[in-house]
Amino acid sequence: MMVEGIGMTSEGTRRRLIDRLRAKGITDERVLEAMADTPRHLFVDEALSSRAYEDTALPIGRGQTISQPYVVAMMTQAALGDRQGGRPLDKVLEIGTGSGYQAAVLARLAVRVFSTERIAELLRMARQRFHRLNLHNIFTRHSDGRHGWLTQAPFDAIVVTAGGEIPEALPDQLAEGGVLVAPAAAGHYQELVRITRTATGFERESLGAVSFVPLLEGLE
């Protein structure tokens, strides 16, 4: 199913993006369908809408970007993990709402998405997009996401959309079996990691090199 915006960007253009994601290793059909159903051109400036379905990051203002679709798909696939029977995630926490695109994709795969953003202007615009798309299962807060969202924990998945040292507060807000997906600092570069909470602690695996804007503290 394709949603709003066919007049601006053709179904064929969106499908070519999905084909590229599949060719690059995105195998979860739930993720591919969620990406196909999320109109990325509504999450970028109108002047960039013609580039919305390129597999590239684009600026959204305030020094921030909307992530490359492949990276969004890869992080979403990692967050879903191997859930039995195709069960949706119950509660997901996103750190860094940004344009709102990652949250919109997650909202098609989770019962509830909680998203924090430190830049008030970006959060205001993202909320407008969520309303326009009737994504009423996304709950947002203007806050320093490094502290997570303790009153809503535990989460089945936590997705961090900015790079740096993983804040200590976040893994502790995972449910048992839950996963945290984040671009972690690794020397002079970043690597995407998945941390799984087990009955006895945490397991960490690397998913490859990435490049994200830095995870900053405080509010704007």
What positions carry a catalytic annotation? 67
Nearest to 175 by CA among 92, 73, 114, 97: 92
Residues, the chain: 220
Contacts of 205 (CB under 8 A, 6+ apart): 193, 194, 196
3-state secondary structure of 122: helix
* Contact between 93 and 22 (Cβ < 8 Å): no
Measure the CA–CA gap between 28 and 14, rounded to whole angstroms: 17
